[in-house]
Amino acid sequence: MGAKDRRMASRLAYHYFRMGNAAGQSEFPLQLAIAEFLCSEESTVAELLLPALYPAIHAPLDEKVALLEKHTPFRFLEVFPLLDQLSAGIDPRRFVLGLFEQPDLFLRLRPRYAANVIATLERAGIDFRRVGDFTVALPNGTALARIPGLAGNYEVQDYSSQQTGRFFRASSGESWWDACAGAGGKSLLLLDSYPGVQLLVSDMRGSILRNLDERFQAAGIQSYRQKIIDFTKKDTAAVLGREQFDGIILDVPCSGSGTWGRTPEMIAAFQAGAIRRFGALQRQIAGQVVKHLKPGKPLIYITCSVFAEENEGVVRYLQDHHHLHLEHMEVLQGYHHRADSMFAARLIMKRL
């Protein structure tokens, strides 16, 4: 299979997965044609199998959905499982419509390099749009590595993920802990915004922390601590003792349901029982982490889930069982920006 054929196969597969279970028991060729009609502006498959509808392939997505529901087995509300379990603040219809659009590639520009990035993209003829002073969106798959003069000037970070920085509100000299640091995106956002912060990063996977080291090195960040902590196997006191922090970022493992526009194969594959398992894991991790939060200081709880049990449910647990006061929580509605959807909450440890 040549490169062109591989690209076509990948496109067809991704479009098919975006439908979830909405095409019912119809035959596979028709399902593929429906997917192509929804997700493409031209398609031989859709033209062949949906000839009466094909002239509307350039219509707005809402109109294409209405046509398909009228003339085919397609049922829009069956695309995404468990709509009744979405967090408050999510528009179910707009959210599901967003699943049919490939999310953009977002760059967070380092402030002192922002002008250079914009000028370089313009010189290279790259299609992009400004989303904020230090954020640009590009078509997914843009080959940034081939553009000279950009290394170290930006971080790849989804728009909603960048918005979690509004919840940090740190001060120079404070000690912060990114407890489930992963690849370090939130840590880099914290340090770029508040360079005087003293940071500890941790994760259960040593390989991930090695990747984080490389990313920090590329960003010129050297002053931070690192620990491997598996919250499912040991008490944090065994690693941290009685250490306490001025702020904790807790971007917990979750269903990832807010990112399924990037991984549409998960839409139909996801099982409802996983929500309960993730919720239990999140409560377990959060319960350990907050023991290391100073009174009057913030826990920033973050997921890339759209399910209430992983979001508001964990916030209620922290309020009811761990002496935390909710200052603000918000669903970050990525579907308005061709981005992921996320959840963030800022909770303050009460002074007892």
Backbone angles phi, psi at 343, to 5 degrees: -135, 140
Question: Contact, 18 vs 100, CB < 8 A?
Answer: yes
Which amino acid appears at position 163 of this protein?
Answer: Q
What distances in angstroms separate CA 268 from CA 24, 80, 128, 183, one per listed residue?
A: 12, 8, 32, 27
Supply 182's token pair: 């992963």
Instruction: Using the structure block, give the residue that is written with the tokens 């913030």.
Output: 298
Active-site annotation holder among 39, 180, 254, 304 = 304
Query: Which residues have a Cβ under 8 Å from the Cβ of 152 and sit 6 or more positions away?
Result: 110, 113, 218, 219, 220
Which amino acid appears at position 350 of this protein?
Answer: K
Supply 350's token pair: 């009460």
Q: Do the annotations mark residue 340 as ligand-binding?
A: no
Q: Do the annotations mark residue 213 as ligand-binding?
A: no
Whether 180 sits among the annotated catalytic residues: the reply is no
Q: Do the annotations mark residue 192 as ligand-binding?
A: no
Question: Contact, 198 vs 174, CB < 8 A?
Answer: yes
Residues taking part in catalysis: 304
Please state the residue numbers annotated as binding site for S-adenosyl-L-methionine.
Answer: 203, 230, 251
